[in-house]
A and B are shown apart, each in its own frame.
Chain A
Amino acid sequence: MTTQDQVIAILAEQAMLETSDVALENSLDDLGIDSMSLVESIFAIEEAFDITVPFNANNPSESAFDISTVASIIAAVDKLKAEQA
Chain B
Amino acid sequence: MPCRVVITGAGTINPLGHDVAATFDAMKNGRCGIGPLDIRDVDRLSIQIGGQVRDYDETTHFNRQQIALYDRFTQFTLLAARQAIAQAGLVFAGDLADQSGVILGTSGGGLNTQDENYRVVYEEGKNRVHPFIVPKLMNNAAVSQVSMEFNLRGPSFTVATACASSNHAMGQAFNMVRSGMAKVMVTGGSESMLCFGGIKAWEGLRVMSRDACRPFSATRNGMVQGEGAGVFVFEDYDHAKARGAHILCEVAGFAMSSDASDIVMPSKQGAARAIAGALKDAKVNPDQIGYINAHGTGTAANDKTECAAVADVFGAHADKLMISSTKSMHGHLIGGTGAVELLACLMALCEGVIAPTIGYEEPDPECALDVVPNEARDADVDVVLSNAFAFGGLNAVIALRKM
CB of A40 within 8 A of CB of B131, answer: yes
Most buried by B among A36, A46, A47: A36
User: Is B132 interfacial (CB-CB < 8 Å)?
Assistant: yes
Give A1-49 interface residues, CB cut-off 8 Å to B. 13, 36-37, 39-40, 42-43, 46-47
CB distance from A4 to the nearest CB of B (A): 23
Asked if residues A40 and B132 are in contact (CB atoms below 8 Å), the reply is yes
Q: Are B128 and A39 in contact (CB under 8 A)?
A: no
15 residue pairs bridging A and B, Cβ less than 8 Å apart: A13-B64, A36-B132, A37-B65, A39-B131, A39-B132, A40-B68, A40-B130, A40-B131, A40-B132, A42-B131, A43-B128, A43-B130, A43-B131, A46-B128, A47-B128
> Min CB distance, B144 to chain A, in Å?
14
Per the bound structure, the CA–CA distance linking A13 and B65 in Å amounts to 10
Tell me how many residue pairs across A and B have CB atoms closer than 8 Å: 15
Q: Determine the chain B residues whose CB is within 8 A of the CB of A47 once the complex forms.
A: 128
Q: In the complex, how many angstroms separate the beta carbon of A44 from the nearest chain B beta carbon?
A: 9
| Chain A contacts to B: CB under 8 angstroms | 13, 36-37, 39-40, 42-43, 46-47
- Complex Cα spacing A47 to B126, Å: 10
The CA-CA distance from A36 to B128 in the complex, in Å, is 17
**In the complex the two chains form, what is the Cα distance from A26 to B131 in whole Å?**
24
Q: Report whether over half of chain B's contact residues are helix, strand or loop; otherwise say mixed.
A: loop
Interface string of B107-134 (1 = CB under 8 A from A): 0000000000000000000001011100
The B10-24 residues at the A interface (CB cut-off 8 A) are none
| Residue among A13, A37, A43, A46 having the largest count of chain B Cβ atoms under 10 Å | A43
The residue in B64, B128, B131 that gathers the most chain A C-beta atoms within 10 A of its C-beta is B131
CA–CA, A74 and B65, complex, Å: 23
Shortest B67–chain A CB gap in Å is 12
Please measure, in the bound complex, the distance between the C-alpha atom of A11 and the C-alpha atom of B131, giving whole angstroms: 16
Give the nearest-CB partner of A52 in chain B.
B128
Minimum CB–CB distance for B70 against chain A, Å: 13
Q: Nearest B residue to A43 by beta-carbon distance?
A: B131
Residues of the A chain whose Cβ atoms lie less than 8 Å from the Cβ of B130: 40, 43
Task: Report the minimum CB–CB distance from A62 to chain B (whole Å).
Answer: 19
With both chains docked as a complex, state the minimum distance between the C-beta of A84 and any C-beta of chain B, in angstroms.
13
How far, in whole Å, are A39 and B65 apart by their CA atoms in the complex?
12
Least distance between A33 CB and chain B CB atoms (Å): 11
Q: A40-B68, A43-B130, A46-B128 are known contacts; what are 12 more A-B pairs with Cβ within 8 Å? A: A13-B64, A36-B132, A37-B65, A39-B131, A39-B132, A40-B130, A40-B131, A40-B132, A42-B131, A43-B128, A43-B131, A47-B128
In the complex, chain A residues whose CB is within 8 Å of the CB of B64: 13
- Which residues of B in the span 21-66 have a Cβ within 8 Å of any Cβ on A? 64-65
With a CB–CB cut-off of 8 A, which chain B residues contact A13? 64
Measured CB to CB, the nearest residue on chain B to A40 is B131
CB distance from A43 to the nearest CB of B (A): 5
Q: In the complex, which residue of chain B has the Cβ closest to the Cβ of A13?
A: B64
Query: How many Å lie between the Cα of A42 and that of B132 in the bound state?
Result: 12
CA–CA, A40 to B131, complex, Å?
6
CB distance from B113 to the nearest CB of A (A): 15
Collect the chain A residues with CB atoms within 8 Å of residue B68's CB: 40
B58: min CB distance to chain A, Å? 17
For the complex formed, measure the closest distance between the CB of B121 and the CB atoms of chain A, giving whole angstroms. 14
* A40 partner residues in chain B, CB cutoff 8 A: 68, 130-132
Q: Which of A40, A42, A46, A47 has the most CB of B within 10 A?
A: A40
Q: What's the least CB distance linking A68 to chain B, in Å? A: 21
Q: What separation, in Å, do the CA atoms of A5 and B64 have in the docked complex? A: 21
Residues on the B chain within 8 Å of A43, using CB: 128, 130-131
Chain A residue at minimal CB-CB distance from B131: A39
Q: How far in angstroms is the closest Cβ of chain B from A38?
A: 9
Map CB proximity to A onto B237-271 as digits: 1 under 8 Å, 0 otherwise. 00000000000000000000000000000000000
Q: Which B residues are CB-close (under 8 A) to A36? A: 132
Query: Nearest chain B CB to A63's CB is how many angstroms away?
Result: 15
Chain A residues, Cβ within 8 Å of B65: 37
Q: What residue in chain B is nearest A57 (Cβ atoms)? A: B131
